[in-house]
């Protein structure tokens, strides 16, 4: 009896300190189901939509006021939330809220698909169209926005005046295209805070005014790390901007905004599980493996760069004083040479930087298909000078066929 009493007392003491989260399942489509579930959810609930049906949300907005709430689609499902009235769709007024794997469609009077006025919130893998702003975050401490696809809005991502002494804004792997005003906007006008924004691995392209707008005037002290992004134009007015490995080139997107074969953005594989990381960590990984992984959607980009039939490299990473040998093989199996005849094949091989600028021409001649061809690159440009440490694209034209490979030059 004494043993049972001790166990009861231990449970009585520990239970109030445990987080016992419940799953609230939603299915069947309909009107305002999600709003109703959110309105009644206590802290820590997971609201999971378990089908790919359409949910009409006809309230002006539904507010999330409980902390640690997650709204998500079940694995393998893609539900659509249609906003049919004026105003915002999801209004986040709580901390540690996660919204992921949802599709949201607005109307001409919609304001924000997601408005965040809470701290440590995450929006991951959502597709948003038809709103004034796709995602707007105001006066937040830390926020993580990753793998979202936003198009057909006025502005895609709009973060302004983050609060507290040292807020962190993480904007990773989003595809923000074809919006009428801005793609990604981060603005700080307050001198009391020192926000850090990590804008990495995003595609911001073909937006009406500016693809990326960074502003810390007149009193703000915003610092931005802008790395591995693909954009057409940028408007930085700020104290500190650190740029590296950004490219200005057409990302080559398909109708569903995934990467087409041959895209310079290179799909490096499976998406990183950003939900597993803290929103405030600048060390959250943004590159899978050694290749670029720019944008929100998986596509065919990797295949065009990583599996090049007929083009073999002795090394895809070289250093000053070292070379890589490029061997062209099985040319008699190219289209037009299927019979194994010693047909002549025109070969043109060039090296380009990630802005698609010509670095060096390695080969430009007609060769015998059965004999193949080999040549080298030593990391130097056409003037005989070593290029900067970066990733370079080897482009090989074989008759009417084009193959591309990555070469890393390291100093």
Q: What is the pLDDT of residues 5-57, one digit of tens each?
A: 444 444 444 444 444 457 889 998 878 888 778 777 788 899 999 988 888 88
Comparing CA positions, the residue from 169, 280, 290 lying closest to residue 228 is: 290
Other Cβ atoms closer than 10 A to 116: 26
Q: What residues does CATH 2.60.40.1930 cover in the chain?
A: 308-409
Domain 308-409 maps to which CATH number in 3.40.50.1820, 2.40.10.120, 2.40.50.140, 2.60.40.1930?
Answer: 2.60.40.1930
Q: How far apart are CA 376 and CA 315, in angstroms?
A: 11
Extract the tokens encoding 329.
């093989």
Extract the tokens encoding 293.
């992984």
> Does the reported pTM lie above 0.85?
no
Other Cβ atoms closer than 10 A to 400: 10
Question: What region does 228 belong to: left with phi over 0, alpha with psi -120 to 50, or beta?
Answer: left
366 or 239: which leads in pLDDT = 366
pLDDT at 228 over 70: yes
Superfamily designation of domain 20-303: Single-stranded right-handed beta-helix, Pectin lyase-like (2.160.20.10)
Which range is least confidently modeled, 27-36, 203-212, 380-389? 27-36
Q: How far apart are CA 74 and CA 26, in angstroms?
A: 10
* Whole-number percent of the chain with pLDDT over 70: 77
């Amino acid at each position: 009896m004494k043993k049972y009493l001790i166990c009861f007392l231990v449970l009585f003491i520990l239970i109030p300190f445990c987080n016992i989260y419940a799953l609230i399942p939603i299915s069947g489509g309909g009107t305002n189901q999600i709003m109703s579930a959110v309105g009644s959810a206590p802290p820590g609930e997971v609201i999971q939509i378990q089908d790919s049906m359409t949910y009409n949300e006809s309230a002006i907005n539904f507010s999330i006021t409980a902390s640690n709430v997650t709204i998500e689609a079940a694995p393998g499902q893609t539900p659509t939330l249609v906003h049919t009235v004026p105003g915002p769709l999801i209004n986040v007024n709580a901390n540690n809220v996660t919204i992921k794997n949802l599709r949201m469609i607005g109307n001409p009077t919609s304001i924000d698909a997601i408005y965040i006025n809470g701290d440590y919130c995450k929006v991951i893998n959502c597709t948003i169209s038809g709103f004034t702003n796709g995602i707007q975050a105001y006066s937040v401490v830390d926020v993580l926005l990753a793998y979202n696809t936003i198009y057909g809005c006025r502005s895609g991502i709009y973060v302004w005046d983050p609060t507290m002494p040292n807020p962190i804004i993480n904007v990773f792997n989003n595809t923000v295209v074809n919006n009428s005003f801005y793609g990604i906007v981060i603005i700080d006008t307050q001198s009391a805070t020192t926000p850090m924004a990590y804008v990495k691995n995003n595609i911001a392209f073909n937006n009406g005014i500016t693809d990326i707008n960074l502003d810390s005037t007149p009193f703000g002290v915003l610092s931005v790390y802008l790395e591995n992004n693909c954009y057409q134009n940028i408007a930085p007015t700020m104290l500190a901007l650190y740029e590296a490995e950004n490219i200005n080139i057409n990302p080559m997107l398909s109708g569903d905004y995934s990467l087409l074969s041959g895209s310079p953005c290179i799909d490096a594989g499976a998406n990183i599980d950003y939900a597993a990381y803290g929103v405030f960590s600048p060390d959250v990984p943004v590159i899978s493996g050694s290749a670029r992984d720019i944008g929100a959607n998986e596509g065919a980009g990797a295949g065009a760069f990583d599996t090049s039939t007929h083009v073999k490299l002795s090394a895809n990473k070289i250093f000053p004083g070292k070379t890589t040998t490029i061997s062209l093989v099985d040319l008699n199996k190219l289209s037009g040479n299927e019979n194994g005849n010693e047909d002549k094949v025109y070969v043109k091989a060039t090296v380009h930087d990630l802005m698609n600028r010509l670095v060096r021409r390695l080969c430009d001649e007609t060769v015998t298909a059965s004999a193949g061809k080999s040549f080298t690159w030593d990391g130097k440009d056409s003037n005989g000078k070593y290029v900067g440490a970066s990733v370079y694209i080897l482009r090989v034209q074989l008759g009417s066929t084009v193959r591309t490979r990555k070469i890393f030059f390291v100093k």
